[in-house]
Amino acid sequence: MEAVYLTFVFVLAIFLGFELISKVPSILHTPLMSGSNAISGITLIGALASLQTDHHGFTAFLGTLAVIFATINVVGGYAVTNRMLEMFKKKDEGGGQ
Amino acid sequence: MNVSMIGINFAYVISAALFIFGLKMLSSPATARRGNLVSALGMLLAIVVTLLAQGLDYKWIILGMAVGTAIGLVAAYRVEMTAMPEMVALFNGFGGIASLLLAWGEYHQYPQMSTFIAIVAFLSAFIGGVTFTGSMVAYGKLAGRINTKAILFKGQHLINAGILLLAIGAAVLFSMHPASGGGYALFLLIIVLALSFGVTSTIPIGGADMPVVISLLNSYSGLAACAAGFVISNNILIVAGALVGASGIILTNIMCKAMNRSLANVLFSGFGAVTQAGEGGGEQGEIRPATAEDVYYILEAADSVVFVPGYGLAVAQAQHVVRELGDLLEANGTEVSYAIHPVAGRMPGHMNVLLAEANVPYDQLVEMDDINPRMDSVDVCVVIGANDVVNPAALEDESSPIYGMPIIETFRAKTVIVLKRSMNPGFAGIQNALFFRPNTRMFFGDAKASIQALIAEFKGSD
């Protein structure tokens, strides 16, 4: 039953994703890509939850590695997207001159 | 489900809503920055409530997050805007490997998996592994560390198909008996196959097709996170992963359409591996070189100027001088805009980011479909380091490999000035018919130095 319920959530989220993204103008494609890339670092949540005190040795090692990589993805992704978006300015905001 | 679990899951619902709002706000330049922060807030919330759960081993968590944050921040603030495609590829790959490691760790700890969990664990590890090595190859190509041309080898499709079939076979056996000793060996085999497949499937794809590859890998990294969410029955991973997966697929589709090629053609044809020997003989004619002074007089007299940037702009780091020239033209009473092809550069929107970095206001950036209908009334088009995306052969020459690709129709402007290093053909290895048109002038040299020379002409005339 759990599998059915999770699949249900998955299918709805895919449709929602298609709806949301199809409206992004091409000038924002790079920030969209790096911003959504940061979201894909959500694996971090799973990696954090997997590091439990009763897990030792190799499991803890794999979990720690996963946390490191996912954190780079999340922190780096959001930071670099923010840096890019800071630069998008309109003319009357003083961008031109 | 106890009370704290319900609380955590409720917070995940809020996180998911913040991701959705964030992505929605990314669809307008005015709200995009706040959108990214909203999405980051969603992530922060999810992380904090996850850390509140009972029984976590904080020493590893703190170590992992400290190392990851330090690396992520340094990379994000050091990177040059011109190097953004390789940065995104790198981050993408890290997301993929994290999903692989998560699935592995979960399997290592609880080998007694149901068939369904075993299948999604396979998917998470396989897609994650392909994303990782695929992104590393893409990174290597974009950063110029490995050959950017399409690398073709004998029996390539057979090898790829073989790896894929082997992986599926291993997955079937693995999901039937995940807990056995053989199951663990199969899981390791799947990881090795995934890592190899990422390399063998990405290496044949050439530099100018990178926008498609990066979009696709972006999608994979989302789907890998999604599969990892199924493994640990976690809704937030599934929702966030699916959103990213969908966004990557849409971008992939947009990029393919902008090149008038199918995804299969981009992935399997080895486009761009042909060298200039093959094509280009037919379209020869006379080229008309121009000096900085000639170009200055043309620009000085123009009422409207459209800059058409390409990857060469990024290579020459010429975005700032282009903006300076644009400002001088505007001060001279010329209407200035920047026409951007969807696949110009090495990732979707690459040129927009570079011009934004140089403080070009985004309302001066126009899309291909907006500029083409009024191209006839444009006085001067200045093509900077773009080649295939302005090649009229795409419209006129049915034998051309790029025939059918939508282009920015610069040849219809009254005058076209092409800034180019030399007469070498573009990425696709085909000679550009635009260079031989009667209304085209070639301005040879490094793009940045050439534009600086023009700026000097403008300043000298005051």
Cβ separation A40–B35 shorter than 8 A: no
Size of interface A-B (CB pairs under 8 A): 381
Do residue B18 and residue B123 come from a single domain? Answer: no
Specify if B155 maps to a domain: yes
Q: What's phi and psi for B412, nearest 5 deg? A: -85, -10
Do residue B181 and residue B55 come from a single domain? Answer: no
In angstroms, the separation between the Cα of residue B23 and the nearest Cα of chain A is 7
Specify if B212 maps to a domain: yes
Q: Which of A20, A77, A90 sits opposite B361 (nearest CB)?
A: A90
Specify if B89 maps to a domain: yes
What DSSP assignment string belongs to A19-66? Answer: HHHTT--GGGHHHHHHHHHHHHTTHHHHHHHH-BTT--HHHHHHHHHH
Sequence length of chain A is 97
Do residue B11 and residue B158 come from a single domain? Answer: no
Predicted confidence at residue B66, as pLDDT, reads: 95
Looking at residue B289, the DSSP 8-state letter turns out to be B
Q: B250 and A22 in contact (C-beta within 8 Å)?
A: yes
What is the amino acid identity at position B276? Q
Which of A5, A14, A42, A84 would best serve as a mutation to test chain B binding (most B beta carbons within 10 A)? A42
What is the amino acid identity at position B344? A
Q: Which helix (H) or strand (E) holds A15?
A: helix A2-21
The separation between the first and the last C-alpha atoms of chain B, rounded to the nearest angstrom, is 77
Q: What is the CATH number of the domain that holds B407?
A: 3.40.50.1220
Specify if B236 maps to a domain: yes
Question: In 3D, which of A12, A75, A58 has the Cα closest to residue B94?
Answer: A75
- Cβ neighbors of B81 (< 8 A, separation 6 or more) are A84, A87, B319, B353, B354, B357
Do residue B69 and residue B148 come from a single domain? Answer: no
Predicted confidence at residue A64, as pLDDT, reads: 94
- Cβ neighbors of B407 (< 8 A, separation 6 or more) are B341, B368, B388, B389, B390, B391, B392, B394, B395
Predicted confidence at residue B64, as pLDDT, reads: 94
Cα gap A49→A55, rounded to integer Å? 11
Place of tokens 């979707």: B348
Cβ separation A37–B244 shorter than 8 A: yes
Query: Which of B78, B108, B125 lies at the terminal end of a domain, its last residue?
Result: B78
**Where on the phi/psi map is residue B227: left (φ > 0), alpha (ψ -120 to 50), or beta?**
alpha
User: Where does residue B144 rank: exposed (0-12), middle (13-18), buried (19+ CB within 10 A)?
Assistant: exposed
Predicted confidence at residue B268, as pLDDT, reads: 76
Going residue by residue through chain A (97 aa), what tens digit of pLDDT does each one get?
Answer: 688 888 999 999 999 998 888 878 888 888 999 999 999 999 999 999 998 888 778 999 999 999 999 999 999 999 999 999 988 877 665 444 3
Do residue B98 and residue B217 come from a single domain? Answer: yes
Q: B15 and B42 in contact (C-beta within 8 Å)?
A: yes
Cβ separation B67–A37 shorter than 8 A: no
CA distances from B27 to A31, A33, B85, B249 (A): 10, 12, 20, 17
Sequence length of chain B is 462
Do residue B60 and residue B115 come from a single domain? Answer: no
Q: Which of A39, A45, A53 sits opposite B243 (nearest CB)?
A: A39
Cα gap B250→B224, rounded to integer Å? 17
CA distances from B170 to B97, B104, B156 (A): 20, 15, 21
Domain count for chain B: 3
Cβ separation A75–B73 shorter than 8 A: yes
Q: Which of B20, B47, B240 sits opposite A48 (nearest CB)?
A: B47
Q: Which positions in chain A touch B97 (Cβ < 8 Å)?
A: 66, 69
Cα gap B161→A22, rounded to integer Å? 32
Where do the H-state alpha helices sit in B143-234?
156-176, 181-202, 210-231
Predicted confidence at residue B207, as pLDDT, reads: 73
Q: pTM of the entire structure?
A: 0.87
User: Where does residue B163 rank: exposed (0-12), middle (13-18), buried (19+ CB within 10 A)?
Assistant: buried
The gap from C-alpha B52 to its chain's centroid, in whole angstroms, comes to 36
Cα gap B213→B215, rounded to integer Å? 5
Do residue B115 and residue B258 come from a single domain? Answer: yes
Cα gap B441→B321, rounded to integer Å? 20
Query: Which of B50, B78, B106 lies at the terminal end of a domain, its last residue?
Result: B78
Do residue B302 and residue B243 come from a single domain? Answer: no
Which residues in chain B come in under a pLDDT of 50?
274-282
Specify if B248 maps to a domain: yes
Predicted confidence at residue B1, as pLDDT, reads: 56
Q: Which of A26, A38, A62 sits opposite B104 (nearest CB)?
A: A62
In angstroms, the separation between the Cα of residue A10 and the nearest Cα of chain B is 6
Q: List the structure tokens of B419.
A: 């800034």
Q: Which of B35, B71, B248 sits opposite A72 (nearest CB)?
A: B71
In angstroms, the separation between the Cα of residue A8 and the nearest Cα of chain B is 10
Do residue B197 and residue B328 come from a single domain? Answer: no
Do residue B93 and residue B214 come from a single domain? Answer: yes
Predicted confidence at residue B462, as pLDDT, reads: 63
Q: Which positions in chain B touch A15 (Cβ < 8 Å)?
A: 246
Q: B18 and B42 in contact (C-beta within 8 Å)?
A: yes
Q: Which helix (H) or strand (E) holds B442?
A: strand B440-444
What DSSP assignment string belongs to B92-148? Answer: HHHHHHHHHHHHHHHHHH-----HHHHHHHHHHHHHHHHHHHHHHHHHHHHTTSS--
Do residue B368 and residue B311 come from a single domain? Answer: yes
Cβ separation B39–A25 shorter than 8 A: no
Query: Which of B52, B78, B104 lies at the terminal end of a domain, its last residue?
Result: B78
Cβ separation B101–A88 shorter than 8 A: no
Cα gap B285→B295, rounded to integer Å? 21
Do residue B73 and residue B93 come from a single domain? Answer: no
Determine the structural domain holding residue B410 and report its residue range. Answer: 292-460
Predicted confidence at residue B125, as pLDDT, reads: 95
User: Residue by residue, what is the 3-state secondary structure of B4-67?
Assistant: HHHHHHHHHHHHHHHHHHHHHHCCCCCCHHHHHHHHHHHHHHHHHHHHCCCCECHHHHHHHHHH
Is B371 strand, coil or helix? Answer: helix
Catalytic residues of B: 388
In angstroms, the separation between the Cα of residue B158 and the nearest Cα of chain A is 32
Which of A4, A23, A37 would best serve as a mutation to test chain B binding (most B beta carbons within 10 A)? A37
Q: List the structure tokens of B67.
A: 């190392």
C-beta neighbour count of B276 within 10 angstroms: 14
In angstroms, the separation between the Cα of residue B54 and the nearest Cα of chain A is 9
